[in-house]
Structure 1
Amino acid sequence: MPIDDARERLIESVSRTLNLTAPDDIVMLEEAIAAHLTAEGFHSLQGRTGKLRELMIWRSQAERTHTVDLPEGQVTTRVVYLDDFVSGGWSSYFTCNRAGTGGWAKPDALYVVVPRWESLEDERFQVSFLAHESQHFRDYRMFPDLMGWELEYRAKLVELNIAYESRDRLIARFEANQSDDPSDAHSFANRRVIAAMKRELKLPASASLAQASVEDVQIVAKRLLLDDSMARQEALLAEQPPVE
């Protein structure tokens, strides 16, 4: 079925369920879904994750403040811990809960999907959630016009700069999920990160990044991030009108 036809069927079906007149825009329908779930005592996430419409639903959440050390300085963020899920979203659904969204960042806070993490204290969580999403939080302020894959490219470099015992697992995840499609932000960023790291480390294309030492990977990842930041700052300065 063409995606446009599927979208229309979805709008009509959900509208009937909510006893609504079908809106012209799926975003308007998602607003109605969110309002309905809130009235029933649930929290929810709509919008898009990757290329598909999202629907995550949970019952409880709690907040904490974290200060995270990043390659370019400390960031203090509000972190919302989400738990007691009714729906883990489409990635959880089609993998029978074997995989799913671990969390996300918004300009106001970070949001962590508690059931997706084995521990909230281990290095994997510190690196792949707190550091990764805190870099997004920082970049939203520093470079507000970044595309999705650019945000992911920078955050994945941060992960490689910080990771120790979780490093090989992290690299395996990056190398197993690559794409040439910029609209698939995570996969496209993985390909860019792996290619840039191998180039700087002078590794052959067929080699795994895990063949390099932890220290070398950390040094190169930080250098690539700082170079990227410098280029973006210079571009922003160049766009400013001259002072008369």
Structure 2
Amino acid sequence: MPYDSSVYKGLLVQGRLHQALDYLAPFPEAAGLIQRTRRRFTNPRPLCRDADPLLAALDRTFQTYYNEVFWQELPLPDCDARLLAALVPLAGLSPADLPDDIPRAMEVTEGRLAELLEARGVHYLGGRTQGYFGPYIWQTTTEQVAQVELPDRIQPCKVCLLSDFIAKGWLDYLSLGQIGAGGWQDGDTLYCVLHRYRGGVESEAFQVSFLKHEAQHIYDRECCGETSGVLLEYRAKLAELIYSSGIACFRGMLFSADSTSPANSHAYAAWRVVGDLSRRVFGEEYTGDYARWKHRVQAVRRAALDAYHASYRPEVAASLRL
């Protein structure tokens, strides 16, 4: 089989760095990517992406965390604890200032870091993304307003276009900048990592994979009070498929799907989407062969719309609240 970058990227979305490199190994054209990735994780000197002492120290700290979690594959709770211990003094705090449990202690610590950086004109978003810590740090924000068409309503939202990034989370770091979060939602505001959309705000990637996906989150949180990460991602991915003009969007979900880790809500929701569409399109429990999907764009769109409406039935929503 020829090299398929979607397989490689799908494994990275699942957090499986070594499996992704194993996939690349047989392909001569991927030798350079393997070498650059190995160098990133075995070079004792971390990347230096900013001259500001606090930003440089933060970046080094998270790079150590990524190395422990994804390269050394050390137990995640231990890695989280070491990360917190390293961040606390950078935030000007002491352990006595913090709650006893790591999630709440990280929230306090990263909140303080965000305050310190805001005073420098730099924005910081912390917390977990798909189960792992890894901040987004940027300098420039441009605001606009959008009215986003969803299957059952027009969703108003504010859109913040973000640029001049210093750090873009763990997936960007693992993939050497090839992939990463395109944005996120907070309240009625959408935050867009602008450089992820090569065609700009008029591209289908922005209009569908970002705007409709994230506006769907607003709708579900505002109108349904929804908090389940898997259910939120499941509906947002279906919204993408309903409006996608080609099969590439579904293809990305197929190769990133992972049934083993509900904590990685994107990958787990993709697995549920593929399974539900497999039953609707092929009458099969799970169809993982992309060749059978690649000419079924309209069937995928119809099945996605059916699954979308079905997801609002109480028994279906309950099965996705993990």
Say whether the fold is shared (TM-score over 0.5): yes
Residue of structure 2 in register with 1:199 after alignment = 279
Residue of structure 2 in register with 1:219 after alignment = 302
What is the Cα deviation at residue 219 of structure 1?
Answer: 1.7
Residue of structure 2 in register with 1:130 after alignment = 211
Amino acid at match of 1:172: R
Change (3 A) 1:26 1:130: same
Q: Distance in 2 between matches of 1:235 and 1:213?
A: 26
CA contact (8 A) 2:157 2:215 kept: yes
CA contact (8 A) 2:122 2:139 kept: yes
1:13 to 86, 90, 100: 86
Q: Please identify which structure carries the higher helix content.
A: 2
Alignment of 1:86-235 (within 5 A): 86-119=166-199, 120-164=201-245, 167-180=246-259, 181-202=261-282, 204=284, 205-208=287-290, 210-211=293-294, 213-229=296-312, 231-232=313-314
Change (3 A) 1:64 1:9: same
Change (3 A) 1:76 1:170: same
Change (3 A) 1:98 1:206: closer
Aligned CA RMSD, in angstroms, stands at 2.1
Which 5+ residue runs of structure 1 have no aligned equivalent? 237-244
Q: Distance in 2 between matches of 1:97 and 1:235?
A: 35
**TM-superposition CA deviations, 1:135-172 (whole Å, max 9, x none):** 111111122134101011111111111111xx221121
Amino acid at match of 1:133: E
- Secondary structure of 1:84's aligned partner: strand
CA contact (8 A) 2:183 2:193 kept: yes
What is the Cα deviation at residue 235 of structure 1?
Answer: 8.5
Q: Distance in 1 between matches of 2:148 and 2:279?
A: 29
What is the Cα deviation at residue 186 of structure 1?
Answer: 0.6
Change (3 A) 1:152 1:178: same
Q: Distance in 1 between matches of 2:224 and 2:119?
A: 36
Change (3 A) 1:44 1:160: same
1:3 to 69, 76, 89: 76
Q: Distance in 2 between matches of 1:49 and 1:206?
A: 26
Q: Structure 1 residue 28 and structure 2 residue 111: aligned?
A: no
Residue of structure 2 in register with 1:53 after alignment = 133
What is the Cα deviation at residue 234 of structure 1?
Answer: 10
What is the Cα deviation at residue 212 of structure 1?
Answer: 5.0
- Secondary structure of 1:4's aligned partner: helix
Amino acid at match of 2:254: E
Amino acid at match of 2:140: S
Change (3 A) 1:139 1:233: farther
What is the Cα deviation at residue 37 of structure 1?
Answer: 0.6
Provide the TM-score with structure 1 as the length reference: 0.88
What is the Cα deviation at residue 182 of structure 1?
Answer: 1.5
What is the Cα deviation at residue 63 of structure 1?
Answer: 0.8
CA contact (8 A) 2:254 2:288 kept: no
Which 5+ residue runs of structure 2 have no aligned equivalent? 1-73, 100-104
Q: Size of the alignment, in residue pairs?
A: 233
What is the Cα deviation at residue 113 of structure 1?
Answer: 0.5
- Secondary structure of 2:172's aligned partner: helix
Change (3 A) 1:31 1:224: same
How high is the sequence identity, in percent, across the aligned residues? 30
Q: Distance in 1 between matches of 2:278 and 2:87?
A: 47
Q: Larger RCO: Structure 1 or Structure 2 (Cα < 8 Å, ≥ 6 residues apart)?
A: 2
Q: Distance in 2 between matches of 1:183 and 1:159?
A: 21
